[in-house]
Amino acid sequence: MAILKKLQPALLAAGLIILPAALLATPLAAQTIFDTGSVYQSSWGVQGESITINSDTAQFNGIGDSGFGIGGSYNGQQGLLNFSVGVTLFFIDDEAQFSQGVQNNLTGDQSTEKSSIDAGSLYVDGGIVYPFSERLQAGVNLGWRYFDVERGISNCSDCYSESVGIDSDTYIKPFARFSFNERYSGSLAYYSYTGDRGMENSVQFSFEFRR
């Protein structure tokens, strides 16, 4: 039952993303993908991402329960199969800041700096994508995401730092992609994290371009 409860947001998001695409489906699109199924297509993407952190995890670690991320990705597709790999830097509020005296190694100037949250991730996922029209595709991927989140003084090599309790996790990612033309496209993806490791979900907007 716990697994089903965790999957509910992903299933709902998949329905909200894929159902409108299905309503716009054309038989020509499916034929086109099978005709070009042997052709490997790749693209690079830049994205913005809104994340939601488990409220108990956020409170225990003294951080905000939401944040924003920016990043980049590489995407590959052949026929109905696709994959993505990417990196993201997150901006999360530090609600339990500490202060520490620091000294500039070049000038010798001393100052007091406050801590902040440094957060990043790497991810990889793969799955099925289906063309519902010549410009609109939707699919579902399964993936794994590495998180590295800590509290510390930025640009300080030997200052105190501490880890934040957000761990790497697996996820389900329903997504939709709209092609503006043969080179540029945009996508919307929903990440539903399946383990109780700190992250709840995230929504990612991506602008992608083919070489």
Residues spanned by the domain of 192:
2-209
Asked if residue 78 lies in contact with residue 41, where contact means CB atoms within 8 angstroms, the answer is: yes
Average predicted confidence (pLDDT) for the chain: 87
CATH of residue 103:
2.40.160.20
Query: Which tokens is 206 given?
Result: 């991506």
Say if residue 154's pLDDT is above 90.
Answer: no
- Please state, in angstroms and rounded to a whole number, the distance separating the CA atoms of residues 90 and 103: 27
- Number of domains present in the structure of the chain: 1
Report, as an integer, the average pLDDT of 161-175: 96
The most distant pair of C-alpha atoms in the chain lies apart, rounded to whole Å, by 70
- Return the DSSP state at 40: E
- Please state, in angstroms and rounded to a whole number, the distance separating the CA atoms of residues 67 and 147: 14
Say if residue 112's pLDDT is above 70.
Answer: yes
Asked if residue 76 lies in contact with residue 42, where contact means CB atoms within 8 angstroms, the answer is: yes
pLDDT of residue 202: 97
- Please state, in angstroms and rounded to a whole number, the distance separating the CA atoms of residues 20 and 132: 10
pLDDT of residue 188: 98
Supply the pTM of this predicted model: 0.81
pLDDT of residue 29: 52
Report, as an integer, the average pLDDT of 150-160: 89
Q: CB 32: neighbour CB atoms within 10 A?
A: 14
What are phi and psi for residue 57, nearest 5 degrees? -65, -45
pLDDT tens, 4-52? 555 555 556 545 555 555 555 555 555 555 555 578 999 999 999 999 9
Match 């490997």 to its residue by tokens: 40
What are phi and psi for residue 8, nearest 5 degrees? -55, -45
Q: What is the C-alpha R_g of the chain? A: 20
